[in-house]
Amino acid sequence: MKISKIILYNEPTVPEIQIEKIKEFITDTCQIKVEINDNFFKSLEDEIFEKIASTRIFDLKNQFKKHIPTQEEIQIEKENQDTTEQDTMTLYDGFELRNIIAENISITDNTLHIVFTNKLTATFDNDDFRYHARALISSNPTIISTTGMIEAPAKPKQYYLDLMPNFSEAKIEEIKEKYKGEFLEYHDPRLSDIVEGYVLQTIMYYSTGDAFCENKECRLFNSHWQKDLFYSQLENKKLCDRHQEKLKGIFT
């Protein structure tokens, strides 16, 4: 589908996104109009906050089952609290959350809505029958989860092996320090550049139905490891020839 305008919804708890820089990146890359809106989750009706809380996942090994939220959970949504660095992380069903967003924004032809959020989105995989964290829930609207960018791609294998004998808080911090720089952390300044790749993936998905490239030399590469994410989005930082031509065709 053709895109004539993109609307970005900011996530102020993650200033590293640098929303104005993302707007400039899209404008320069695609030469289309970009508009910035406030955080989608800031001011909603109470019943919508309740619906959002109902998308929380508590059983990773079974498909989505609507959750009846507590008043405390609804209140957390109303206050738009950042719970990403708490010991127990909340997961939301990405497709259910996307549907709620879609019901509450005005979607017109040729306008792509991209919602940034710190909520950790996940989808159920029928191949291994369990939920997996996702950075990107593609469609219109698209969700880009900054927490998913940090948590979904795997850290170095040795990091997990080092953790296995001891999960104490002190040991976790010691191992994090040992591998510092080899994976994204919260408020990581590299998030801004990496977001650009996810934005390109969602533009390509909306336009062609295919978000990813199998070529590691392409910014559309679907990185399952942090090291691959760093290579495609920070070191290489460009599209392969095939997708560069495809992108040109979308906006000409």
Q: Would you kindly state where each structural domain of the chain is located, as residue ranges?
A: 5-251
Q: In the structure encoding, which two tokens stand for residue 157, read together? A: 């294998």
Q: Phi and psi at residue 95, in whole multiples of 5°? A: -70, -40
Q: Which amino acid is at 239?
A: L
Query: Strands 142-145 and 111-117, how do they pair?
Result: parallel
Q: What is the pLDDT of residue 83?
A: 75
For the beta carbon of residue 121, count every other beta carbon within 10 angstroms: 27
pLDDT attached to residue 234: 97
Residue showing tokens 């939920």: 131
- What is the CATH topology of the domain spanning 5-251? Collagenase (Catalytic Domain) (3.40.390)
Claim: this prediction has a pTM higher than 0.85: yes
- pLDDT at residue 49 in the model: 96
Give all strands of the β-sheet with 130-134 in edge-to-edge order.
56-57, 91-93, 120-125, 130-134
pLDDT at 163: 87
DSSP state, residue 15: G
List the pLDDT tens digit at each of the 252 positions of the chain.
889 999 999 999 999 999 999 999 999 999 999 999 999 999 899 999 999 999 999 999 999 999 999 999 999 999 887 777 777 789 999 999 999 999 999 988 799 999 999 999 999 999 999 999 999 999 999 999 999 999 999 999 999 999 888 778 888 889 999 999 999 999 999 999 999 999 999 999 999 998 899 999 999 999 999 999 999 999 999 999 999 999 988 876
| Other CB atoms within 10 A of residue 42 CB | 11
